Chains A and B, each alone.
Chain A
Amino acid sequence: MLGLGIPSPAKTCGNVQNGLGLRRQRAHLVIKEYLYRLCGALVGLAVLAALPGQGNADPLRVGFYENPPKIFRDEKGQPTGFWPEVTEAILTGLGYDFEYIDCEWETCLEMVRQGQLDLMPDVAFSEERAQQFQFINEALIYSWSTIVTSEKVEIASLQDFEGKRIAVLANSIQERDLSRVLREEGLKSKLIWTSSVQGAIDAILVGDADMAITNTFFAVKMAEQNSLRIPELPFQVNSYHYIVPTDAPHSFVQAMNLASYRQQMTFGSEFHSAEYEWISFHKAPLPGWLTTAALITASVLLLSGALIFILRRVVQARTSDLATTVEALSAEMDLRKKAEKFALETQKFDAIGRLVGGVAHDFNNLLSVIMGNLELLKDQKELDATSQKFTDQALLATKRGAKLTYDLLSFGRRAQLVPQVLRIDLVLGGIEEMLRRTLPENISVAFSYDPDLKAVLLDQGQLENAILNLVLNARDAMPGGGRLTLSVSNLSSDGTEGREPLVDQVVVSVTDTGIGIKEEALNKVFEPFFTTKEIDKGSGMGLAMVHGFVTQSGGQIRIHSIWEQGTTVELRFPVTSEELETVAGSDTSTELLGDEKILLVEDDEDVRHALSKRLSASGFNVTEASNGAAALELATSSTGFDLLVTDLTMPGSIQGVDWVRQARDTFGEVPIVVLTGYGSDALDGLSDLSRCLLLNKPISGPVLISKIRHLLED
């Protein structure tokens, strides 16, 4: 329960006076600032009036733990550091009386969880914590580690860590973060541990490491001194917030949000003062000997004016120090901006990815029902020609719907890919004619392939779709005609380009001479449903799908465009050392019928009914279950099944990957077909299961039967 206190006028007035003192030299800002404060106080009072327990005189309980310089007690035992200064400003500004409750870090969090603390500062945001606490959205501190590389190494994304030797201080937070990232991203890099922070830089300089990850302050200094590069990619951006218990009043959370925001937006606020004092990099300490020397010098200066020369030298040194500080601050600000931008973009794309994944799942279930029933309808012998035509058209539309959801999943990087070793020139050679046919006569087209093109690991169908999307975009960009060039070439890691990659890549470029894209639209082109085309001319999913596919395939996508001159889209894929595969055959088999016993587990009654009909129509003996528990019951009462077809996400205690594993334990080596509307990453945890196949909903009847047949005969 939030222990809300009565505002403390004395504390509030004292704080305002202090604030005005700080702003004395900025008279032109005082009135503006005062209005902000007045506004803030009014908001605070309004919030207080709306809160329960207003009459309660108990002060707000704020967690306090030691983490200098962000939060700690000074020699007199007084709370000091960044958070106490900002907290004092915010809470007194809102009219709260408050007290600090000392606790260990973990204990503090537990106390917030139990409602024994009303507010806790300095908590890094994580999804896991967001389940347990309410976060004040406005982050007051961002922190991140910095990547340092030699001049030859280019790091544009986390995927570029693959195969790199990365130096990192042993037992540091950077090491822990790096290990976690590599594990989560499935990347293979070699850690070069070092015994000191300097050691990580030394490892690059002597060629033992390709890159290092270290704290930002150190990285900026060392990169300047050693001509090393700091890529624009910040590493492990963390944002630090206040947290409150989950049952804290919404109005209090809003007030804290607003006050935090205002602190950051107000020039000369306590936030900026505390940030400069405690967080910024300007606080490089003077060595002890220099302090001593300065004291001695000051004494000597009293005795002799001849030492003025020495004083000048000290002034020069300080000036130089100041210049360095300004440079460091400037670099810090740049990095912070990049970190914030990176964090926002990542969060935005992740959020959209989750959203479209969820929508696609439900949509796919609906499509499954429609497609299944249409296929059953089509099989009816008494259907006349007109009805047959209507059915075909409806089926066609359903497949287009399925394509759209697949594109959505592609954007969310959840599409099921079937990568195979292939040469892009051979793949494109096969669709050259089709691509030419999509272009009007006033557009000339040229294909150019590197004669010794290297192999890559890609989903062939998705690659063709991606290229087709780019070609169609190019066509629409050249309504008055023009030239389209499609080239595929090797980009060697030791090639002649100025900023060559560390691993060999194959680059696919699609260039048009069309109208181009305006600069303000360039950073939005990969977002789903963003289009510069006229209404009804494009879904806005094309480039989003391409972006998702390329990223999911471990590649990179780049776009260059000049307004009214043209656009080039580049897809870069890492070269694979695996042997080239033969082109995969058709997915559908001619021997589709069967009589095996199939257990079908699906919670959606309509989907289950349609699937059951489809399987039964092909001769299979189908038993239905509406969830995992019911299926397990059937396992004990039935004589056994030859194959299990199951949904992944169902109501009940048994579902997801756990359900599939439990099914394998219960049904033994019976083949399992998993149908999911969420995309392939739902099954990352099942890659070790043999005879287990993942299929995306909606799936057409013949393909499903074919896959089942293959699995049964495998």
Chain B
Amino acid sequence: MFFARPAAAQTELSMWYHGSQNELERGIILEIVDDFNASQPDWKVILKSIPEGSYNDAVVQAAWTGNLPDIIDVDAPVVANWAWQGYLQPLAIDASLVDPFLPSTVGRWNGEIYSVGLWEAALAILTRKSTLAKYDIRLPSLAEPWTATEFEAALVKIKASGEFDYPLDLGVSGEGEWFPYALSPFLQSYGGDLVDRSTYMTAQGVLNGEAALRFGAWWQSLFTRALVPAVGLAQKDRTEGLIDGTYAMAWNGNWTVLDVIEAHGEDVVYLPAPDFGKGSVIGAGSWQFGVSATSEHVTGASAFVEFAIQDRYLSSIADTLGLIPPTPAAAKASKNYGPDGRLSGFVDLSRQQAMLRPVSPSYVVIAKVFERALVEIAGGADVQEMLNEAVNDINRDILRNAGYKPE
């Protein structure tokens, strides 16, 4: 007697995943893959974890040698670049499927959907209610965040108390994507931006205009007045620093909130970003699944992506890893982000304040140039000079690439 064996007829799909050191995360991805393979007779995903530190290099190398896998894990702000470089092809899924998704969790470029993410990460000011009350600082809300003046007064007042090493921790001890992800929203709240998003052809006027200059001056003053730890200053664990009172407030992600709540219970609050004039803005980000340009099985690969973005997996990730579910239904079903969840506020925060990083192949360059400018300004460089140089560097890159026009 013979039993039907779906695997025998299955076509294999290779998938690369930026091998997270997080066992929980890897466990969920493996579960999704196993479920998908068992759910249908046509496709079998073979998951390969590439070390995170060399993941981007492996993809670039594979693209050069024609060895890209069928399904790729891709960091959201890089999607446009990889699509432009021809590493990715559009997903073959019904566009309405991603309608309920947070905009930041859908990788789009040139009118096409290239990738979808299973989670979203949001930032907030983490602090304690008792600290605000002690210094008579108003508790802001999503509807009424702190104004620039209120935020300034709060920092100065806490600094003057001498109770904390620093009133605020911005997490600038390291380097990398944190700068554009976490800090460019302040620039945008001032009214500036990393690049002129109406054309994506220049940064002139937005990164070195009047609003950007005011942002730059404020940014520099944070360091000259020692309101925040210096750039590159070795820090112990950030979350620990907030818990033990080294910092009064921390600009940090939703993934750290549960640890702080664990330590201080109901006294913990997470607050929206201050409004520096053009509204509160926070960054948005996720890793997403896409299909490589060389895949001959776009249907199968897209079917996997479609399978992976089911609400049950999104809720599972949210509850296991503390990340924000991209859809309202997944949020509702989540323990942490449901109506009674301790992190439910982050869903509204993401929906109302999250701003995508520039959707352009040039973003990878913009991010680096912006980081350099912030580091130099924090170190005392002339604000106008640095921002002008940054604009020139970005514009030269756009020019060298003929405006990154799609072929």
Residues of A near any B CB (own CB < 8 A)? 65-69, 72-73, 75, 77, 104-106, 169-173, 191-197, 199, 202-203, 206, 208, 215, 217-218, 283-285, 288
Considering the complex, give the chain A residue whose CB is closest to the CB of B50: A66
Partner of A106, one of B51, B61, B64, B66: B51
Whether A67 contacts B50 by the Cβ 8 Å rule is yes
Whether B393 contacts A170 by the Cβ 8 Å rule is no
A161 to B39, CA, bound (A): 56
* Residues of A with C-beta under 8 A to B400: 194, 199, 202-203, 206, 208
Whether A66 contacts B49 by the Cβ 8 Å rule is yes
Whether B54 contacts A195 by the Cβ 8 Å rule is no
Whether A285 contacts B66 by the Cβ 8 Å rule is yes
* Residues of B with C-beta under 8 A to A75: 12, 46
Whether B56 contacts A171 by the Cβ 8 Å rule is yes
- Judged by a CB distance under 8 angstroms, whether B365 is at the interface is yes
Q: Tell me the minimal C-beta distance from B389 to chain A in angstroms.
A: 9
Q: What are 25 A-B interface contacts by the 8 Å CB criterion?
A: A66-B19, A66-B49, A68-B58, A68-B62, A68-B67, A69-B65, A72-B48, A75-B12, A77-B46, A104-B19, A104-B21, A104-B51, A106-B21, A170-B364, A171-B78, A172-B56, A195-B362, A195-B364, A195-B401, A195-B404, A196-B401, A197-B60, A199-B397, A208-B400, A285-B67
- Judged by a CB distance under 8 angstroms, whether B367 is at the interface is yes
* Residues of A with C-beta under 8 A to B64: 197, 217-218
A73 to B48, CA, bound (A): 9
| CB within 8 Å of A: which B55-83 residues | 56-58, 60-62, 64-67, 78, 81
**Given A67-B58, A172-B60, A283-B21 contact (CB < 8 Å):** no
Q: Tell me the minimal C-beta distance from B25 to chain A in angstroms.
A: 12
- Judged by a CB distance under 8 angstroms, whether B85 is at the interface is yes
A217 to B63, CA, bound (A): 13
A77 to B47, CA, bound (A): 11
Q: Closest 9 interchain pairs by CB? A: A285-B66, A105-B51, A170-B364, A193-B368, A66-B48, A193-B365, A173-B57, A195-B364, A202-B400
- Judged by a CB distance under 8 angstroms, whether B294 is at the interface is yes
| CB within 8 Å of A: which B384-407 residues | 393, 396-397, 400-401, 404
* Residues of A with C-beta under 8 A to B50: 66-67
Q: Known contacts A191-B368, A195-B364, A196-B81; can you find 10 more A-B pairs with CB under 8 A?
A: A66-B49, A68-B62, A69-B65, A69-B67, A192-B393, A195-B365, A199-B401, A202-B401, A208-B396, A208-B400
Q: Tell me the minimal C-beta distance from A196 to chain B in angstroms.
A: 6
Partner of A104, one of B49, B56, B81: B49
- Judged by a CB distance under 8 angstroms, whether B317 is at the interface is no
Whether B396 contacts A170 by the Cβ 8 Å rule is no
Q: Tell me the minimal C-beta distance from A332 to chain B in angstroms.
A: 15
Main secondary structure of the interface of A (DSSP, over half): mixed
* Residues of A with C-beta under 8 A to B51: 65, 67, 104-106
| CB within 8 Å of A: which B322-372 residues | 361-365, 367-369, 372
Considering the complex, give the chain B residue whose CB is closest to the CB of A73: B48
**Given A196-B85, A203-B400, A285-B66, A172-B57 contact (CB < 8 Å):** yes
Question: Most chain-B CB neighbours within 10 Å: which of A65, A170, A173?
Answer: A170
Whether B397 contacts A193 by the Cβ 8 Å rule is yes
Q: Tell me the minimal C-beta distance from B261 to chain A in angstroms.
A: 29
**Given A104-B19, A104-B21, A203-B400, A194-B57 contact (CB < 8 Å):** no
**Given A106-B51, A203-B400, A208-B396, A193-B364 contact (CB < 8 Å):** yes
Considering the complex, give the chain B residue whose CB is closest to the CB of A168: B368
* Residues of A with C-beta under 8 A to B294: 288
A208 to B393, CA, bound (A): 9
* Residues of A with C-beta under 8 A to B67: 68-69, 285
* Residues of B with C-beta under 8 A to A169: 60
* Residues of A with C-beta under 8 A to B361: 195
Question: Most chain-A CB neighbours within 10 Å: which of B368, B393, B396?
Answer: B368
Whether B367 contacts A170 by the Cβ 8 Å rule is yes
Partner of B65, one of A171, A173, A194, A285: A285
A206 to B364, CA, bound (A): 20
Residues of B near any A CB (own CB < 8 A)? 12, 19, 21, 46, 48-51, 54, 56-58, 60-62, 64-67, 78, 81, 84-85, 294, 361-365, 367-369, 372, 393, 396-397, 400-401, 404
Q: Tell me the minimal C-beta distance from A512 to chain B in angstroms.
A: 49
Whether B401 contacts A193 by the Cβ 8 Å rule is no
* Residues of B with C-beta under 8 A to A215: 61
A104 to B26, CA, bound (A): 11
A208 to B65, CA, bound (A): 28
Q: Tell me the minimal C-beta distance from A277 to chain B in angstroms.
A: 13
A69 to B66, CA, bound (A): 12
Q: Tell me the minimal C-beta distance from A32 to chain B in angstroms.
A: 35
Considering the complex, give the chain A residue whose CB is closest to the CB of B85: A196
* Residues of A with C-beta under 8 A to B56: 171-172
Q: Tell me the minimal C-beta distance from A208 to chain B in angstroms.
A: 5
* Residues of B with C-beta under 8 A to A104: 19, 21, 49, 51
A372 to B159, CA, bound (A): 53
* Residues of A with C-beta under 8 A to B81: 195-196
Considering the complex, give the chain B residue whose CB is closest to the CB of A285: B66
A197 to B78, CA, bound (A): 15
Q: Tell me the minimal C-beta distance from A194 to chain B in angstroms.
A: 7
Q: Tell me the minimal C-beta distance from B177 to chain A in angstroms.
A: 9
Question: Most chain-B CB neighbours within 10 Å: which of A69, A192, A196, A288?
Answer: A196
* Residues of B with C-beta under 8 A to A196: 81, 85, 401
A193 to B362, CA, bound (A): 10
Considering the complex, give the chain A residue whose CB is closest to the CB of B360: A195
Q: Tell me the minimal C-beta distance from B406 to chain A in angstroms.
A: 14
A94 to B84, CA, bound (A): 50
Considering the complex, give the chain B residue whose CB is closest to the CB of A197: B60
Question: Most chain-B CB neighbours within 10 Å: which of A105, A215, A288?
Answer: A105
A170 to B360, CA, bound (A): 14
A172 to B317, CA, bound (A): 29
Considering the complex, give the chain A residue whose CB is closest to the CB of B65: A285
* Residues of A with C-beta under 8 A to B85: 195-196
A73 to B69, CA, bound (A): 13
Whether A283 contacts B65 by the Cβ 8 Å rule is yes
A318 to B75, CA, bound (A): 38
Q: Tell me the minimal C-beta distance from B363 to chain A in angstroms.
A: 8
* Residues of B with C-beta under 8 A to A206: 400
A697 to B100, CA, bound (A): 73
* Residues of A with C-beta under 8 A to B367: 170
* Residues of B with C-beta under 8 A to A65: 49, 51
* Residues of B with C-beta under 8 A to A208: 396, 400
Q: Tell me the minimal C-beta distance from A172 to chain B in angstroms.
A: 6
A218 to B57, CA, bound (A): 14
Considering the complex, give the chain B residue whose CB is closest to the CB of A281: B65
* Residues of A with C-beta under 8 A to B46: 75, 77
Considering the complex, give the chain A residue whose CB is closest to the CB of B67: A68
Q: Tell me the minimal C-beta distance from B234 to chain A in angstroms.
A: 13
* Residues of A with C-beta under 8 A to B54: 67, 173
A75 to B404, CA, bound (A): 36
A75 to B21, CA, bound (A): 25
Partner of B397, one of A68, A72, A195, A285: A195
Whether B365 contacts A170 by the Cβ 8 Å rule is yes
A192 to B84, CA, bound (A): 20
Q: Tell me the minimal C-beta distance from A551 to chain B in angstroms.
A: 28
* Residues of A with C-beta under 8 A to B363: 195
A160 to B49, CA, bound (A): 39
* Residues of A with C-beta under 8 A to B49: 65-66, 104
Whether A170 contacts B60 by the Cβ 8 Å rule is no
* Residues of B with C-beta under 8 A to A66: 19, 48-50
Considering the complex, give the chain B residue whose CB is closest to the CB of A284: B65
Considering the complex, give the chain B residue whose CB is closest to the CB of A170: B364
Considering the complex, give the chain A residue whose CB is closest to the CB of B368: A193
Q: Tell me the minimal C-beta distance from A428 to chain B in angstroms.
A: 40
A104 to B55, CA, bound (A): 13
Considering the complex, give the chain A residue whose CB is closest to the CB of B80: A195
* Residues of A with C-beta under 8 A to B404: 195
A105 to B56, CA, bound (A): 15
